[in-house]
Structure 1
Amino acid sequence: MVGRLCGQCGGSGHGRPWARVGDQPVHVSWSRSAGHLLTAMSFSRPVGVDVESLEVAVPAWPLADALAMGEVVTSAAEFVRLWVAKEAILKAHGVGLAEPMSGLRLAEFEGDLRELEAPRGLVAALALL
């Protein structure tokens, strides 16, 4: 069984994805960009994933919304990698973009974070709490 549930309004048409296999809850996350879909599931730990297109992302996102105090990026690709990593972490926490990325410092994240192989022009990450 799979679905979505918004933690703010309780709606099922949007919000954090959920799944069950029999009586066991399964942590799930998904993201899509440029015609690609990335999914992850875990029976034991909260999981979050994000995938973004370098072409679409860079001109559209404000730098100040993503960077915590002291974080610096020196290229557009580095900015997208930072964004994707932070969004994956926020999804694993169940809040997604409802929480500001600027409040999250990558250097302080204590879970597992991996940049994933992705098709050319895409950046992808997986976070496990």
Structure 2
Amino acid sequence: MKNIVLPICCLLLNSCTTKFQNDITNNNTEIVLDRINKSSLKKLNSKQGMGLSLLHTAVIDGKVEIVKALVNRKVDLDMISNGLTPLHIAVMDNNTVLVKILLEAGADKKIEYKKLNAYDLAEINQNDEILKLLK
């Protein structure tokens, strides 16, 4: 993702993420979907490596199928990790598909990151399609 900078050591060594997160990032979709179905909601909502929830990780990596699976399990859509909700991340990354999924599932578009809500972030990115979704 362009707007979130992760420490270089974490990217090189994968030392700051969990196996669950690595499986999301490394396209092990079948394994991830199986684990999502077998895991407790508490586990799915827990903050993993780098303080990110699994939903944050899936949104950062643009994994639509995994985001849908997590949404279907009723994970916390509005969990804040490092000041950001999954919706903030999707908006900042101009990922219209994920923004739509999160909004349809009930993500709160009024939560602020550095005094900016999701609409404000979409305005900064000048993304008219996302702005329409957020109205």
Give yes or no for TM over 0.5: no
TM-score, normalisation: structure 1: 0.26
- Structure number with greater CO (CA < 8 Å, separation at least 6) is 1
| Structure that is richer in strand per residue | 1
